[in-house]
């Protein structure tokens, strides 16, 4: 089947999408919205009791999503096709479930590994259910997070501070309930929105409004990690998507900046950054937390404590005494302590290393929609795993928006079904059409 014929077949399928496929797509949006704020209404105060976790609500949402995904793919007859096409993700999910064999807390490992598996299944069904899955992805993320941004900004005007801020951390918490949760949401939304290229002037204006809301909300969070990660992500996107001569100038500028940084010294730059931003050089005690968690990781270096088993209630207070963290605030450390060096190596192969091969296959020509879509997914993923992951634990957490969107984007780059990346953007690439 030629590339053009494949794309034509996909267009035909767009008109014949089943009701079940539409339900799956709607549920993926529902899951995304749930990750933003847990369905908390804008006028509801942020719960300040750390014991309020909405775990039952979360478990019901995630379990039903996984069961719905399996049913949809079985009904369409494409279950085995999707599992085979994304076998690496399925195998990694089975590794998480398999840690039940050595976990220190079977109930936590079972619950959290099933949530991850259900999320993978829902995303597989979502990719399978739309004829143009990349377009659906970038538009859904942009609209959902843009709307979240404007609702959160409206909270500051319409409702009391109890609905959009918390006493111990200044900055806009918005619908997410914490600035350090809301900031990454805006970061992801802004970077993925760079792939949206509307043609009609009215839609271009709507996109600018959504981006302006996300940018303003991001700034109001006062989350320096999210702000700097967004700036870096935009730089990566421009470097990858712009014309070759501009990319060359940017590369020269980066080399020049790196040379200056080497002359000044890393310690001096770090001190200057914390001084100018008013931040604590100890990262609010996270350096002490990392040290303690790494000490615990030495007790089971090969396989870890079992997925999700390390952070049982009040574990953080046991470690650092002065506060009660529920994560290491470092994704890499949490992967290491939960599934050991074996799991960490498998994760490196699954995401960073395979991401490079995805880019080589999907990038296409500069100046095309295809290139912009691949560049936005690549830029968002790179800054999340390289920068944002050093301040928050979200790897392997399908209840974290960053991981949900990252996996969604990676599955799109990996997609080998009839609606694959090549088929969706075949009309943007005359070279591919000529060889079709």
Q: List, for residues 50-63, the tens digit of each pLDDT value.
A: 655 567 777 888 99
326: Cβ contacts below 8 Å, ≥ 6 apart: 311, 316
403/240: higher pLDDT: 403
C-alpha dihedral over 259, 261, 265, 269, to 10 degrees?
A: 180
Is a pLDDT exceeding 50 seen at residue 273? no
149/324: higher pLDDT: 149
pLDDT in tens, 136-148: 999 999 999 999 9
Retrieve residue 48's tokens: 């300040």
As a whole number, mean pLDDT of residues 331-348 equals 96
Using CB atoms within 10 Å of the CB of residue 276, give its burial: 0 to 12 exposed, 13 to 18 middle, 19+ buried. exposed
Angle of helix 369-386 relative to helix 133-158, nearest 10 degrees? 60
The helix (run of H) or strand (run of E) holding residue 56 is helix 55-76
Query: Coil, strand or helix: which one is 170?
Result: coil
Tell me the pTM.
Answer: 0.88
What is the maximal distance between C-alpha atoms in the chain? Answer: 66
pLDDT value of position 248: 53
- DSSP H helix total and E strand total for the chain: 20, 0
pLDDT value of position 417: 80
Is a pLDDT exceeding 80 seen at residue 431? no
pLDDT in tens, 29-49: 999 999 998 888 999 999 876
């Amino acid at each position: 089947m030629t590339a053009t014929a494949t794309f034509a077949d996909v267009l035909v399928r767009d008109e014949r999408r089943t009701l079940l496929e539409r339900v799956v797509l709607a549920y993926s949006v529902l899951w995304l919205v749930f990750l933003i704020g847990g369905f908390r209404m804008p006028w509801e105060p942020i719960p300040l009791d750390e014991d309020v976790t909405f775990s039952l609500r979360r478990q019901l949402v995630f379990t039903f999503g996984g069961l719905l995904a399996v049913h949809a793919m079985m009904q369409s007859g494409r279950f085995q096709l999707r599992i085979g096409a994304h076998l690496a993700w399925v195998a990694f999910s089975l590794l998480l479930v398999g840690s039940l064999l050595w976990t220190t807390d079977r109930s936590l490992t079972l619950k959290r590994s099933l949530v991850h598996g259900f999320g993978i299944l829902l995303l597989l069904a979502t990719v399978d259910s739309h004829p143009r899955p990349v377009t659906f992805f970038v538009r859904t993320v942009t609209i959902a997070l843009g709307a979240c941004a404007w609702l959160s900004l409206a909270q500051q005007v319409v409702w009391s501070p109890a609905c959009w801020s918390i006493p111990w951390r200044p900055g806009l918490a918005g619908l997410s309930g914490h600035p350090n949760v809301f900031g990454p949401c805006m970061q992801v939304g802004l970077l993925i929105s760079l792939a949206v290229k509307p043609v009609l002037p009215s839609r271009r204006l709507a996109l600018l409004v959504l981006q302006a809301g996300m940018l303003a909300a991001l700034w109001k969070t006062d989350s320096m990690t999210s702000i700097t990660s967004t700036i870096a992500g935009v730089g990566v996107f421009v470097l990858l998507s712009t014309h070759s001569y501009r990319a060359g100038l940017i590369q020269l500028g980066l080399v020049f900046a790196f040379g200056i940084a080497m002359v000044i010294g890393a310690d001096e730059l770090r001190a200057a950054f914390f001084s100018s931003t008013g931040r604590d050089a100890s990262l609010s005690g996270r350096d002490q937390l990392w040290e303690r968690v790494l000490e615990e990781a030495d007790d089971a270096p090969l396989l870890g404590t079992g997925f999700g088993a390390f952070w049982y209630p009040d574990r953080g207070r046991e470690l650092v005494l002065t506060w009660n963290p529920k994560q290491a605030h470092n994704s890499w450390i949490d992967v290491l302590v939960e599934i050991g060096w074996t799991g960490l190596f498998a994760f490196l192969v699954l995401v960073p290393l395979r991401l490079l091969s995805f880019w080589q296959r999907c990038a296409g020509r500069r100046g095309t929609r295809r290139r912009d879509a691949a560049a936005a997914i690549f830029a968002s993923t790179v800054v999340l795993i390289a920068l944002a992951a050093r301040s928050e634990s979200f790897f392997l957490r399908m209840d974290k928006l960053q991981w949900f969107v990252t996996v969604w984007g990676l599955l799109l780059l990996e997609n080998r079904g009839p609606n694959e990346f090549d088929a969706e953007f075949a009309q943007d690439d005359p070279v591919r059409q000529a060889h079709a």
